Amino acid sequence: MRIGIIIPSLDDSGAARAASNLSHLLSERHEVHIITVYRHEPLQNWSGDFHVLDVPAASQEHGIITRAGLFINRLRALRRIKSELELDVSISISEALGIQNILTATADRPIVNHHTVLSRNENLADIYGRIVKTMVRIIYPRAEGIVCVSEESACDLTDHYGINPDLISVIPNSVPVCELADRMSMPEGWDDVFRDPVIVTAGRLTYAKGQWHLLRVFSELKKTMPQLKLMILGDGELRGYLHRLARGLGLETFTGGQPDDYDVYFMGFQRDPYGFIGHSDLFVLPSLREALPMALIEAMALGVPVASADCGGPREILAPNSDPLFKTDNTEFADYGVLLPSFDGRKRGVHDKLSREENVWVETISRLLSDRDILDFYSGRARKRSMDFSSGSVKERWFSFLDKIV
């Protein structure tokens, strides 16, 4: 079977990492083609052949007419490459590409791989976003199938966009669990940093990831745990804001150079972040929304105990037997990690008091770091749970789904 995986780019996003893992998984049985929208240097490894539509990416800075023109150009390019490759199945990742994938279907069977909780996506709050959401409601039902990465993202499509549940399958992203342990080496000179307790987070520096809340929480934790360090892995448009906030909070801030004694380490994008994550005491996820965060699963695969905002997908990972739509307003010591109340997303000043949720995070993280027994317990539970997302566990679900579609 010839399968195309269509994605904006193989950049540093979780969706790109998911597409990369999916290409490895499907290549075991099928001929895979990665198709990206615009030309760039891939930051992820992949299996199969690589193709570029070479249509500039749309952004929020573009006007509606420019975006419409790019949309039409992408339809033409996508229809052409599908025909040239004689695809049997085309799997798209991202809402706009899902719509374009369906509209350009000829001999191929279009499948939407849905990676978000669409109704809570702040990037689609403008007029363009409203158009995309309207097209989702109208065009998604024409797909051969929709694969959602979590139950919440599936419920969001049925409850808010009227998608028939019979069209939807839930298959989580896969993580190469068994390989990650072999990728835990750190660059030379970083061992001394981890002699002190370190909490780590990973994700693009964007609004949805909420890292400014974590900086405020960390600043409060430093008052009673002066040796504590925070490591932030990832890059994005909020880099400058977060650097200024950290310094405004009085935190010694690393942004490059020699890894001396700092409070906060902004590491930027790391092709292999697993050494930094795996040697940390606690992985934290302060996101405002997540469908199924791969960084959380990867940390668990490395045996790192995790604490996460109860912002969607993390509940399905850490408390799989609970209601996936429930949101806690306090600390919940779940089966495989700790769930904490989501932040309100408000960007407060450095002198503003902590919010109620930020205070809960301070109290809970302080308790976790002070109790080695709890950390050891969740370390073992995390590693066990991560196996449910291993390539071996997920690939048969994908193969079965594709056999049903074709």
Provide the pLDDT confidence category of residue 61 given band limits of 50, 70 and 90.
low
In this predicted structure, the answer to whether residue 80 has a pLDDT above a threshold of 70 is: yes
For residue 183, what pLDDT is reported? 87
In this predicted structure, the answer to whether residue 380 has a pLDDT above a threshold of 80 is: yes
- Per-residue pLDDT of 322-374, as tens digits, reads 999 999 999 999 999 999 999 999 999 899 999 999 999 999 999 999 999 99
pTM score, two decimals?
A: 0.93
Determine contact, residues 172/296, Cβ cutoff 8 Å. Answer: no
| 328: three-class secondary structure by DSSP | coil
- Per-residue pLDDT of 185-220, as tens digits, reads 888 889 999 999 999 999 999 999 999 999 999 999
Q: How many helices (H) and strands (E) does the chain have?
A: 14, 15
How far CA 223 is from CA of 11, 161, 167, 274, in Å, comes to 37, 47, 52, 29
For residue 184, what pLDDT is reported? 87
For residue 65, what pLDDT is reported? 78
Provide the pLDDT confidence category of residue 51 given band limits of 50, 70 and 90.
very high
For residue 123, what pLDDT is reported? 81
For residue 129, what pLDDT is reported? 84
For residue 122, what pLDDT is reported? 86
Provide the pLDDT confidence category of residue 182 given band limits of 50, 70 and 90.
confident
* Cα 240 to Cα 236: distance, rounded to the nearest angstrom: 9
CA angle 378, 384, 385 (to 5 degrees): 85
For residue 60, what pLDDT is reported? 64
- Per-residue pLDDT of 107-136, as tens digits, reads 999 999 999 999 998 888 888 788 889 999
Residue 293 backbone phi and psi in degrees, to 5: -70, 115
For residue 246, what pLDDT is reported? 98
